[in-house]
C-alpha cells in the first residue's frame, strides 16, 4: 500500500502535522467535504492531457536529459488521458482502491471518491475530510477502510494531533459505509497497537478480516511498546460493521526479526513489525514486507496466518516495503523503499540494486515452500538529485502467459515493466513529470494500478492521473474486467 518511511521514525510528530496540512477549522465526520479551498487555489477540474505533454513524449529520455520542471514525458506506447487536481484535500495524496465505476483515493486529509466511468474525463463525486496519516484505503462491498498512523485526540474526523505518549491518544482503523458514494458515512473504528500504517483485506462472505501493519514501537508510547513483532487482525462483520474488533495479534517474528547487519547498522531498518502485506485469497497465500524481512504466509485460516518462509537481503534491501504476486502465484516481487520515499535514490550513485524490486520464485509445497531470489529491477531512467524516487506501489497488468507490472516510483513516475523472464526484467513503458519547482518538496506517483483497461496514478502533489498503454505485450489485459480491486488483495485473473 503506502509509506513515507523516511518520516516514520518521527511519524507521531510529523505524520500528524502532515495530516493536518491544508485543513481549515471545519471538519466533517462524514459526508462530502465542505472545505473551502485555500485562497488562490484553482477549483478542481478534469480535462484531457495537454498537447504539450503529448508532443513531449519520449523527448527527455531520447536526449538523456532530465525533463524540465513539471514537464511531462512518456514513452510512445503510453498516453496521458487526464489529470484531475486534488480539490479540497490539500495534503499528500496516497493509495487507491477501485469498485465498479469508482476510484477511491486516500489523502492525509481524508479521501476522495472519483467517477471513472469516462476515463478521459474523471470527476469528483465526493470528498471526506478525516485527517490522519496516511489514510491508506481499501474497499469491500459497501465498506471502506482507512488507516490512521498518527496519534489523534480521538477517533473522530474532527480530531486533532496529540502526542503518542498520552494514553488517551488514538490511532487505528476507521470504517465507512459507501453504499451512497455521494455521502460516505463513518460507522465505526478500531484502535490497534502502534496504529495502522497500512492494512490488507482478506474478505469472506460474512466478514472482512483486516490485517493491520504497523511498526516503530517505543517505550514511551503506552499503546505501542516493544516488542511489536506481529500484526493486528481486525474482524469486521459485513452486516454489523459497528461490531468490528481486534481478534488476534499473531507474532510473526518470535526471534524479534532482523536486527540488521552489525557491521553496518545504518544499511537497513531493523524489523519491529510489518510495513505491508499482500494476500492471494484464491491460493490462501500472503507475502509480507516487514522492514528487515520478506515473508511468505499460509492464510488458509484468515484469523490465524502462519509464516512458512522468511528471507533477508542485508546487502541491498534497506526497507522491505510491499509485495506483488505473479498471476499464477509462483513469484513475488518485493519492493525496497530505500530512503523512505523522501530520498533521491534513482541516480547513478545509488545504482540499480538498491531502492529497487527483488524478484523471488516460490518453490516447494505446503510448509516446505521457499522464496528463492532471481534478480533486481529498477527503472533505467536516472532522476535528478532533487527528486524523491524509489520503488513503490504497483499492480499486475493481467496478461496470460506474461508477468507484467505497473508501478509508482514517486518522482520517478510510473513504470510498466516485464518480469516473465525473472532473470532479465525490463521496462516497456513509462510516464513521468520533471522535478517539482520546489526542490525540497515531496512529490510524484504514490500508487499506480491497472484497472479495467486503464492505469490510474495518485500523484502526491499533482492529483489524479489517467493513463492508457497501447502495446502488443499488454493487449491481452484489455479483456479483463473486475468489479473491485484492492491491489493488496490480489485477484485470481486466470
pLDDT tens per residue, range 464-483: 999 999 999 999 999 999 99
Main-chain phi, psi angles of 126, to 5 degrees: -160, 155
CATH number at residue 254: 2.130.10.10
Q: How many domains does the structure of the chain reveal? A: 1
pLDDT at 30: 33
pLDDT at 50: 45
Residue 294, in any domain of the structure: yes
Main-chain phi, psi angles of 236, to 5 degrees: -120, 110
Determine contact, residues 184/31, Cβ cutoff 8 Å: yes
pLDDT at 265: 81
How much is the pTM?
Answer: 0.90
Determine contact, residues 136/117, Cβ cutoff 8 Å: no
Report in angstroms the alpha-carbon separations of 464 from 372, 397, 414, 433, 435: 36, 19, 13, 13, 18
Give the dihedral sign, CA 392/393/397/398: positive
Residue 167, in any domain of the structure: yes
Determine contact, residues 108/147, Cβ cutoff 8 Å: no
State how far the Cα of 239 lies from the Cα of 245, in Å rounded to an integer.
14
Residue 187, in any domain of the structure: yes
State how far the Cα of 94 lies from the Cα of 150, in Å rounded to an integer.
15
pLDDT at 435: 98
Residue 311, in any domain of the structure: yes
Main-chain phi, psi angles of 486, to 5 degrees: -115, 115
Regions of the chain with pLDDT less than 50: 5-62
Residue 342, in any domain of the structure: yes
Report in angstroms the alpha-carbon separations of 362 from 229, 274, 357, 494: 24, 20, 16, 18
SS (H, E, C) the chain: CCCCHHHHCCHHHHHHHHHHCCCCCCCCCCCCCCCCCCCCCCCCCCCECCHHHHHCCCHHHHHCCCCCCCCEEECCCEEEEEEECCCCCCCCEEEEEEECCEEEEEECCEEEEEECCCCCCCEEEEEEECCCCEEEEEEECCEEEEEECCCECCCCCCCCECCCCCCCCECEEEEEECCCCCCCEEEEEEECCCCCCEEEEEECCCEEEEEEECCCCCCCCCCCCCCCCECEEEEEECCCHHHCEEEECCECCCCCCCCCCCCCCCCCCCCCCCCEEEEEHHHCEEEEEEECEEEEEECCCCCCCEEEEEECCCCCCCCEEEEEECCCCCEEEEEECHHHHCCECCCCCCCCCCCCEEEEEEECCHHHCEEEEEEEECCCCCCCCCCCECCCEEEECCCCCCCEEEEECECCCEEEEECCCCCCCEEEEEEEECCCCCCCCCCCEEEEEEECCEEEEEECCCEEEEEEECCCCCHHHHHCCCCEEECCECCCCC
> Strand 394-396 to strand 370-377: parallel, antiparallel, or no bridges (unpaired)?
unpaired
pLDDT at 196: 98
Residue 423, in any domain of the structure: yes
Residue 490, in any domain of the structure: no
Residue 492, in any domain of the structure: no
Residue-range definition of the domain harbouring residue 88: 5-485
> Strand 404-408 to strand 198-203: parallel, antiparallel, or no bridges (unpaired)?
unpaired
For 329-437, where are the E strands, in sequence order?
A: 331-336, 357-363, 370-377, 394-396, 404-408, 414-418, 426-433
pLDDT at 202: 98
Amino acid at each position: 500500500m503506502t509509506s513515507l518511511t523516511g518520516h516514520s521514525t518521527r511519524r507521531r510528530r510529523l505524520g500528524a502535522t502532515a495530516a493536518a496540512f491544508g485543513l481549515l477549522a471545519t471538519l466533517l465526520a462524514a459526508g462530502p467535504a465542505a472545505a473551502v479551498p485555500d485562497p488562490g487555489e484553482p477549483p478542481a477540474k478534469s480535462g484531457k492531457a495537454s498537447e504539450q505533454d503529448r508532443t513531449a513524449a519520449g523527448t527527455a529520455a531520447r536526449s538523456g536529459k532530465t525533463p524540465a520542471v513539471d514537464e511531462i514525458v512518456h514513452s510512445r506506447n503510453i498516453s496521458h488521458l487526464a489529470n484531475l487536481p486534488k480539490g479540497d484535500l490539500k495534503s499528500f495524496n496516497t493509495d487507491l482502491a477501485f469498485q465498479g465505476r469508482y476510484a477511491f483515493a486516500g489523502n492525509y486529509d481524508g479521501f476522495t471518491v472519483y467517477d471513472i466511468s469516462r476515463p478521459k474525463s474523471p470527476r469528483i463525486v465526493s470528498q471526506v475530510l478525516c485527517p490522519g496519516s496516511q489514510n491508506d484505503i481499501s474497499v469491500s462491498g459497501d465498506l471502506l477502510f482507512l488507516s490512521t498512523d498518527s496519534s489523534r485526540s480521538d477517533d473522530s474526523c474532527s480530531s486533532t494531533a496529540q502526542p503518542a505518549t498520552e494514553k488517551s491518544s488514538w490511532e487505528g482503523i476507521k470504517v465507512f459505509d459507501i453504499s451512497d458514494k455521494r455521502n460516505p458515512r463513518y460507522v465505526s473504528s478500531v484502535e490497534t497497537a502502534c496504529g495502522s500504517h497500512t492494512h490488507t483485506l482478506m474478505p469472506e462472505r460474512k466478514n472482512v478480516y483486516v490485517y493491520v501493519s504497523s511498526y516503530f514501537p517505543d517505550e514511551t508510547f503506552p499503546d505501542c511498546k516493544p516488542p511489536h513483532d506481529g500484526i493486528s487482525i481486525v474482524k469486521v462483520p459485513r452486516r454489523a460493521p459497528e461490531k468490528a474488533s481486534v481478534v488476534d495479534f499473531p507474532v510473526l517474528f518470535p526471534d524479534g526479526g532482523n536486527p540488521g547487519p552489525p557491521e553496518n547498522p545504518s544499511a537497513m531498518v531493523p524489523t519491529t513489525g510489518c510495513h505491508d502485506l499482500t494476500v492471494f485469497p484464491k491460493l490462501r497465500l500472503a507475502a509480507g514486507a516487514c522492514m528487515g524481512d520478506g515473508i511468505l504466509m499460509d492464510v488458509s485460516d484468515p484469523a490465524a496466518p502462519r509464516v512458512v518462509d522468511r528471507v533477508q537481503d542485508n546487502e541491498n534491501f534497506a526497507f522491505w516495503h510491499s509485495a506483488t504476486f505473479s498471476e499464477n502465484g509462483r513469484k513475488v516481487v518485493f519492493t525496497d523503499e530505500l530512503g523512505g520515499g523522501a530520498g533521491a535514490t534513482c541516480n547513478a550513485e545509488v545504482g540499480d540494486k538498491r531502492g529497487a524490486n527483488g524478484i523471488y520464485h516460490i518453490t516447494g509445497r505446503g510448509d516446505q515452500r521457499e522464496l528463492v531470489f532471481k534478480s533486481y529491477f529498477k527503472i533505467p531512467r536516472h532522476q535528478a538529485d532533487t527528486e524523491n524516487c524509489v520503488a513503490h506501489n504497483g499492480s499486475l497488468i493481467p496478461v496470460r502467459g506474461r508477468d507484467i507490472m505497473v508501478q509508482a516510483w514517486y518522482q520517478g513516475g510510473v513504470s510498466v515493466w516485464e518480469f516473465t523472464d525473472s532473470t532479465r526484467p525490463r521496462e516497456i513503458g513509462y510516464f513521468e513529470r520533471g522535478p517539482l519547482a520546489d526542490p525540497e518538496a515531496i512529490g510524484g506517483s504514490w500508487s499506480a494500478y491497472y484497472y479495467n483497461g486503464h492505469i490510474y496514478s495518485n500523484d502526491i502533489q499533482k492529483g489524479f492521473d489517467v493513463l492508457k498503454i497501447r502495446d502488443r505485450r499488454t493487449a491481452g489485459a484489455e479483456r479483463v474486467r473486475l468489479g473491485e480491486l484492492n491491489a493488496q488483495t490480489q485477484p485470481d485473473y486466470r
